[in-house]
A = this chain, B = another copy of it.
């Protein structure tokens, strides 16, 4: 006997999250007042989120989440926060400068939503014009960074605390599952897990900001002022990728580029592993098969990209520069951060194609990373090897192990399904992009469509050609941008929680 989905509980919990969104919104409000800018946009957003939040919260008193209610709550929360988060962007555009991305009547609304959803989902794809980068207030620029940081925190809590219980696409399997269960046993409540993660995340962000600002104080990074240091700390650790600089990390000295890399890597590392490290068990990451795989993949692909840049007769870079740009941009795309240290869209095919493939990998499960994730690829490769073995020895029984754990067969099937589903939805998005471009008579190249679709759906950020890291997504038709908003949402919360909402079985009692 299945009862009807209790959507009131889901809405009510989403309401609580929206209510509390008023607190981070106060940060850019204060900065706007401090800078003498108009704080109205943030005031409106704060009032709106508090009002909607409280109203939704009152829908239900009990708020017990089953499987379906949890899916609905996750989907609604990401959608609701993105919609509220768009208000400040939208209001800067009303009657604003025509060169702003947020000024056109319909386009401005879509662009504000795009920027907000891209922020919350830690995608980092922007529609902002050069005018926006030069003229928007620091408060608006900080809000872009902050909503990414919140998105990273949200996904960490969901990934470690919730999705693993919901068994989405094999997410029930983390190599450290037994360990995270130990952590949970120590701190038995979800609230406790959340507090633990929150502490780590805040701490890591603070260390990043301090590191970046220290480089400034040491005179090594003139333009990495306190604002920039905080802004980039927020979006490094969240593997998110927005930057107040139109040239991304390319705007900074080489030493800054080197300093950003470890924080992207840490942001995409399983936070349970990081927790063990903070407890003094610094060897724990090296014992993790997934961690070794994740680092190994980045090292291997960086080597290929650096080599391709090195032998390209049209690119003249020194050895350090070649290695730095190779490493930085591969780390940026594999961790799904989406920063750029150079306009990699200008590189030759050998390099751009490798960067395109990087988008599909992703960092470790249980981190802020997006995309398919190393854990799923590792299990997939192990399962492939097993398939070859059993093709030759059909009578053999050979369980797949990850660390000390035997991966059960249903999980392997779920992981296969997830990886394939992600690849298929990516291809479906490319179909929409090219057909919509034909409809709107907007020229688009195949690689532009493929790159932008992967980057949007897998929540990376920049892509190639007109969607390159030094350019923006405003060139796509407004309908394409609208669909991209939806796809960032679907991609970020691991696909299934949104897709199930489209099935009748979800709503039937």
- Which A residues lie at the B interface, using CB under 8 A? 2, 67-68, 71, 166-168, 304, 308, 311-313, 348-354, 356-357, 380, 383-385, 387-389, 391-394, 409, 412-414, 416-417, 419-421, 423-424, 427, 430-431, 434-435, 437-439, 441, 443-447, 449-450, 464, 496, 499-500, 503, 505-506
Q: A350-B435, A420-B380 are in contact. Are A392 and B500 (CB under 8 A)?
A: yes
Nearest Cβ distance between residue A132 and chain B, in whole angstroms? 28
Closest to A313 in B: B441
- The 8 Å CB contact of A496, one of B352, B388, B413, is B388
Q: A420-B420, A434-B350 are in contact. Are A499 and B67 (CB under 8 A)?
A: no
A241 CA to B380 CA, complexed, in Å: 34
- How many copies are assembled? 2
Query: What are some 24 contacts across the A-B interface (CB < 8 A)?
Result: A67-B391, A68-B392, A71-B391, A308-B434, A308-B435, A349-B434, A349-B437, A349-B438, A349-B443, A349-B446, A352-B446, A354-B431, A357-B431, A384-B417, A387-B417, A388-B499, A388-B505, A389-B503, A389-B505, A392-B500, A393-B505, A409-B413, A412-B413, A445-B447
Q: A409-B413, A420-B419 are in contact. Are A438 and B505 (CB under 8 A)?
A: no
Q: Are A423 and B421 in contact (CB under 8 A)?
A: no
Nearest Cβ distance between residue A399 and chain B, in whole angstroms? 14
- Chain B residues, Cβ within 8 Å of A444: 349
Q: A387-B417, A420-B423, A446-B447 are in contact. List 8 more A-B contacts (CB 8 A).
A: A304-B431, A349-B446, A353-B430, A357-B427, A384-B417, A387-B414, A392-B506, A420-B420
> Which 8 A-B residue pairs are closest in the complex by CB-CB distance?
A350-B438, A416-B416, A446-B447, A353-B434, A350-B434, A308-B438, A413-B413, A349-B434
Nearest Cβ distance between residue A424 and chain B, in whole angstroms? 8
Residue from A354, A414, A417, A423 whose CB has the most chain B CB atoms within 10 Å: A417
Chain A facing B: main interface SS: helix
A223 CA to B352 CA, complexed, in Å: 45
A441 CA to B450 CA, complexed, in Å: 24
Q: Are A168 and B391 in contact (CB under 8 A)?
A: yes
Q: Are A67 and B350 in contact (CB under 8 A)?
A: no
Closest to A414 in B: B387
- The 8 Å CB contact of A413, one of B168, B356, B393, B416, is B416
- The 8 Å CB contact of A391, one of B2, B304, B409, B496, is B496
Q: A349-B446, A356-B446, A413-B409 are in contact. Are A67 and B380 (CB under 8 A)?
A: no
Q: Are A392 and B67 in contact (CB under 8 A)?
A: yes
Nearest Cβ distance between residue A316 and chain B, in whole angstroms? 15
A421 CA to B499 CA, complexed, in Å: 25
A311 CA to B437 CA, complexed, in Å: 11
Q: A389-B503, A427-B357, A430-B353 are in contact. Are A394 and B67 (CB under 8 A)?
A: yes
Nearest Cβ distance between residue A391 and chain B, in whole angstroms? 5
A499 CA to B354 CA, complexed, in Å: 24
Closest to A418 in B: B387
- Chain B residues, Cβ within 8 Å of A449: 349, 353
Q: Are B349 and A445 in contact (CB under 8 A)?
A: yes
A449 CA to B385 CA, complexed, in Å: 27
Nearest Cβ distance between residue A308 and chain B, in whole angstroms? 5
- Chain B residues, Cβ within 8 Å of A354: 431, 434-435
- Chain B residues, Cβ within 8 Å of A68: 392
- Chain B residues, Cβ within 8 Å of A311: 438-439
A496 CA to B387 CA, complexed, in Å: 9
Q: Are B392 and A503 in contact (CB under 8 A)?
A: yes
A167 CA to B393 CA, complexed, in Å: 12
- Chain B residues, Cβ within 8 Å of A434: 308, 349-350, 353-354
